[in-house]
Structure 1
């Protein structure tokens, strides 16, 4: 049965069929019983809840009659009679209010532990249970309803906090609405201030604080909380308010037996690298967490990392950093990005479980310590990292007294009231000695008290040959590892064959999984077996996902191989992950894209594990995974994680029928794909005679390879079918080509139509792209208010996706508009914001667009030396870095020509403008040719060709289809020509240029070159 009280009372069978509960009194009675599911509710409480303080005569008989009505409606046994009252004999988890409270607790616990993705998932699941106001069928339940509503608000605040650390972020508009609805909740106000700050809207953040401060003073006569005041102070000081990093996980059990080791670790606080050494299960992680809990620390769990390339990515993720999306220029190496993020931070980096990739961790730690002078590192490993200056803290097994205390503490948690006494001291001591004082082994043994008493546990351990062997003599690290292995093996032996089969098959899930995925891979109907594994501490559960400890997972993986099931189960796992990716793909292009990005992020480790396995064992599935996950990787800033797989797949034949998937591999391989592979991919794109299975591939190809040759409308008509997002993408692509091809006025209505299509779908990426370009068009006409309104909305949407690169591009467009308004200081500030945004994401190499912006502002402000240095570096950055960077080369050459003119070098200026014009003629974009022509016009004034300068300015307008109003360089050129030949002659020459079509303009330019 399923019961809903978070809204109007709703009762459904397990099959989802509704059951009508008639009458307000029976409905109120059932709500009261459900609020106490599994517990007896007295008759007096039921009368109070039905009638309040003034019950009628015969109220008890009325309640009994209502119970009878409910029993006739509900299944047998749903409501039980007891001498003291009545009881709803249902599992509390069948009632949405209890399920919501459990998920809210789980979410808050995970949030405190720095597990932001799982926390957000649990909180979203809980909040989704609400269908309206709680307990609407309980007229005298205001206090209970208020309590649930308060929990709902607190869970919402927790969800917002978790979303700050996720790629999808949180909605500023939704936050603002919550603050307006609950103006006295300071935590919400602080979250809104942080979100506005992250979006670059500092003034609005300060305004939000001031509103709350005034309201607190007027309504309550109180000052803002210290937490809110701290955020306000950081804003005033222009200090960064960083997204939360992964803090050391909050521990739910006491710290037992390692006080002396903790003191030794604190004595080593001055060392920059300390490694806690010991075998698996000896307590390295717990000691590190206990030490770091009171410090500014970032916790990185490397237990699921199995490749060298994944180590820096794991650290970036723990720091709350996402990968940037497409950017002109080469992709930044993750390790170099880490240095950029941590270079000036004073923080403790805890790297847990380094042993399986110790060499890769050592390389990264050396690089970080050399480039980040204020950073300290605490590692846990079974062997040293082997770096100069490393301080080692080896852990020994617990002595018997602390081991007994640990066993007693953990045993009491699973068997309330347990204590070590005269009757069981010998047995407990025997257990601890047999387990060699290994904390994890002791905790696993204590968990067995759910099924056995202490004597039985001791007897089973004593009867195990491995334990008898390893309880004596001088033990090496490997031998102590075998002790832990024996504990896991013993737990394994307690399982029946069906549970063993499930346990070994679960080992293919690297990052845990939800029940439907487990059933798809391991077999249907395993829910009870799964619950049994959770009870036996072989599997952990957060209420939604199930996950094995790494040690147990590796043990079970070996059993999977021994059973001869490894290939079959891993193939099923890969198919399951492919099904998830293909199911998610269309949702990523709709209003629910943030929800599906979060869902894929929760299964990211599984997706990548499936891809790695498929590359070696099932190339067809691997190709399909790359294409299906492309939008997810790019939207969530993870595209570089597909590079190795894509390169490996390209080193072989292309499977039949997977041309689209092969092209996706070329795009993700990037510079590591050969010129021949890029050429072949281009030929395949041109030959497509069907819609793409994954339409985002068309957008990826356009962003990486440039616009198609020939009729773009015809090309998109072939690639994209009638799906609404496909239609909107095709329209946007065609409009962009027309706009950049010199027809902005004609294409603007179609751009607005594309925007409307994306808005109707609720898809943020396409909406932001269309808004950005509408802002550019408005700025060309000097419609500044319209431009900034479009850019503000586009920025907010891209920020919610976590798209730092796209946000930086929008800021650069804003800066260009400010330059044309003569606001050079403000323009530089916008470019600095863009640069800082990329730096926060770990991008150390400044993109061409930003370098060019800095150079142009420096030139216009008269700082010619700085401008020259910037342009030298910018010009070099446009060479050999692909379409995205190279198409800006013409603009950089034009800037070099204007700088040469400013320094008085006429010859160099004319030469540079000629180079810019020659390069721009190879560009597919007429706007780039127009920009170069304006530069040539500038050069013409230097040699006294004033009428030609006027003609060229007109040609530039004809090529672009619109004048760029307010360009300071164009204005200077026009003024010089007008002064020299007079207004009439200038106007006539300018008009001749404006009237030319493209072919006539190119002929004039050819004559100029000759």
Structure 2
């Protein structure tokens, strides 16, 4: 059921229009509809229906009218009786007047919030509900007047929206003025509409007409608001409103807060193409700002004149703008300044110096570079905002879209670049997120279907990047293409050595938002990097540079500056892996040397699992050799086959990782076995790091073989001194751990373990951190069981991240002991069986398996008892 009162009173059921009856049933229906869903008091209904001469039995007469109306409507339940009155049991939305008020209110709010496009849509829909004068066939004058006033206000707001959109109808506004001749707001709208159409003389005459009428009718002068419109017309001013946005705004709260907090008169939003600078500027600007789109422009001043609705005169455009803006408090949005950067800078400086109340919000891929400018970088969206944006845009084309793990992968792969995310989301209409993610290695072909109405440079991902590329100088393009070879960003030294360009060219790329600079490194967003790498690659130079870096860094990782060098290699990890991949394909012998130089770094970093695949690929490309380098490669690629190669080496040892591999894969030497040439070579080495390594190894084996704790501790302290003299943290931690094992004082053991943890924490050695955390838990087991449990759990997590099966097994064994002590043998057995499943090849696994098996046997014996 729908009730209409915006015109003749009508009722419509699903079967069609209902014959309501004569004047009184129609009046009664109108009165109930005006307050649909509310109880209308009996006295008010009687007064409205019968006026000053009600019938003698007014209550019965009203009840009779209600009965007639119920029969006409065909559903008695629609009109409910209550002791206080009657109620029309319909939602307000099913009465046209209520629907009109809701739409008109939303339209006015949209206008106040700077969205004239939405305002026009809502207000137009509201006014289309009117079929003629309100309550046209019933005598309810007060209600009619109120509704007509609401209609007039909505019509005025609609005119305001259309003026902001630059499409007001002069004839329509003229009719409204004739109906409401004393409404100054409508007079102002008429003047603005005439001015927009270039009819300045008529706009000025409209003001004179209004002034004369107000003087004659009311004896007053025009209001300040109408005089301000008159002044605007005299100056020839009419500005372009901010373009309405067709989609919701997602994220960027931090940037919006920063912009709002800035007091600078010139704020420039900088960032790469597709980062959402324009959208952010529109969101930050608010209603009343003047929007200047420079993307299609060739002259900044001329484009600004057009945005203001000003015609060019004999004055220079800059002077014309000064005259127009000198006394105005306004915000000018200069959008897309990058291709006219010099002109934009010159005009901004001119206007800021001549128009004291003007503020400028610019968007550009590089700064304007003038005094007083405050930069507000627009970075890619963070992961949470990226996924929210993807989901929002995907649901526009696929309402059933549900985010999944591939959504996160897509947003990460697209660097959180809003335009790229929106283009990818548009593909969810025909592709699954898994299919989109799999195709992002060819993103420029995939992300080609954007908004047809957008500027060409924003319709495809390629066009976005090409726009920036075309603005570069020849040197800048060459450097951008070279820099795209780096998969993990680059240091300044690497850029200069590999790309062979000076810092000025690099700074230009940073300024133009093609390259990000942070923490002494320079990197490209992956989308920009992929585009630039199509133009030139310098893989050979790149590989040579990182080979030399690895060669220099390797010995430093065993000296006092090891933390600095480890940090440097960690920063270059992706580039080092890239160099290994390229040399494996094109220069396998170089790759073999690179693997040897990086082996110790990979060990400290805990990357052996990560590099195993690359090592196996190289193993297939080099002939078998009896060299140290080949042995290192074999230890990384196929550790179960390296024992024979290790025994065949005779020294001198150039890469100490060989000794670590030997220790990890062979375990402590058996004193009863004959000595090898390699053992003799190592024992006689003059390398202080190797001496320290052998010293603590001998201390451990001495203690294990003879049980002479005092001698073993003395040897260990000597080894510790050697490592500490070198400033070498890994070796120091190993000796501290051995000393903690040897001491009989639990408190001292814990303190020594904490020192060892601190040493490897400085270095960031993931594997040692996991192992030492597990041993700290072992040493806490009889001191603080709860803290021991926390340490075991932490060791378990760290070992899982590093891929250390033996360490995980030992941590589970420790947790099993705690479970057993707490009276939960079932949980203990579950943990020990899980630990057994972790273990595989190598002496460390064999040693761990022995511990686990013993613990399991003890658990089963205790159950039998």
Q: TM-score, normalised by structure 2?
A: 0.47
Pick the structure with greater CA Rg.
2
Which structure is higher in RCO with an 8 Å CA cutoff and minimum separation 6? 1
